Structure 1
Amino acid sequence: MLGVLINEKERKEIEYLIKREMDEILFDMKDERIDHIVKRSMRERYQILFSLFKRVAPPKECLKYMPAKKNISRG
């Protein structure tokens, strides 16, 4: 286990970066040209990002990015 001390400005920056990355994955998941194997990797990455996001974001924001079955579990 690792611990990190960050200030509020850094926390907001981390939150912003993770949100942008998750938004991009959600957008790409809708692209029918992307192979299902690649989408599976994207879903795994999203799960990792979301677990990090839960640590820095307020609960209300987390609800917006909670993996939805139609967005994330199917490719």
Structure 2
Amino acid sequence: MNRPGAWSYGRDVQAAVRWTGEGLAAARHTTCLTPRDQVYVNLDVAQHGVGSGACGPRVQPRYDLVAQPVSLTLGFRTC
């Protein structure tokens, strides 16, 4: 991934950026984004994966990912 101000973990996962999700959705190009003083961290607790109906059949009901509130605990340490 080669986006200014973005941090990548794994395969093109955008995790920490200097713009809001709303700003990213509204921008036609990444060059239109204005970095903010804050850093916004976006974490995916789960991902639907292949078979989500985007390219092929939907997943079986038992594997369907339903959005719901979650709680998670994060820890930080210096490297």
Larger RCO, structures 1/2 (Cα 8 Å, 6+ apart): 1
TM-score category, normalised to shorter length: under 0.3
Flag the structure with higher helix content.
Answer: 1
Give the TM-score taking structure 1 as reference length. Answer: 0.22
Structure of larger gyration radius: 2
Flag the structure with higher strand content.
Answer: 2
Give the TM-score taking structure 2 as reference length. Answer: 0.22
